Amino acid sequence: MCGDHSRQSCGGALAVLSLPLRSTRFLPQTMAGRLVFHDCGKGGLVATHATFTPDESSISSSVSDIDTCIVGIHETGDLTKSAIISPFLYKFSIPQGRPTSQDSWQERSIEVPLSHPMKIEVGGDGIIGRRVTIWSQHAVDPIAEGIIGYN
């Protein structure tokens, strides 16, 4: 396997988000960071919550700086097509930044319950291997994207 072998698996699913590959416009806000799909530590294969944590280098290094966003999980993992024409499997919103706790690491994260539980598996209704795109309420183009993998 490639990558950092010192990192322990935390369970659930993870998407590392960065600026969209096809971005051609100035983006007022970047959502670089990690989006984790999990079941609040129960170890199951169905995600009931999503937690977004911005990168330390991100413009929005605090969740209080983040506007309400729409998260779309696409039917495929194809990053070569425009996100606007790529069909969705799931959609949910991340409300304007509210810290999850007072802990210095966690205060940079925002956790939302998912209205529709998502399977952490490949194929069918599973989210592994699918493209995830984030839009700001005020932007036409996506502000971040990534591929969902096992955490």
- Domains, in order of start, for the chain: 13-150 (2.60.40)
For 94, the enclosing helix (H) or strand (E) is: strand 88-94
Which residue bears the tokens 């966690």? 106
Helices (H) and strands (E) in the chain, counts: 0, 8
Q: Which mean pLDDT values do the consecutive 10-residue runs of the chain (151 residues) have? A: 49 91 59 90 88 74 66 94 91 74 58 94 95 86 92 88
| E strand or H helix at 15 | strand 13-17
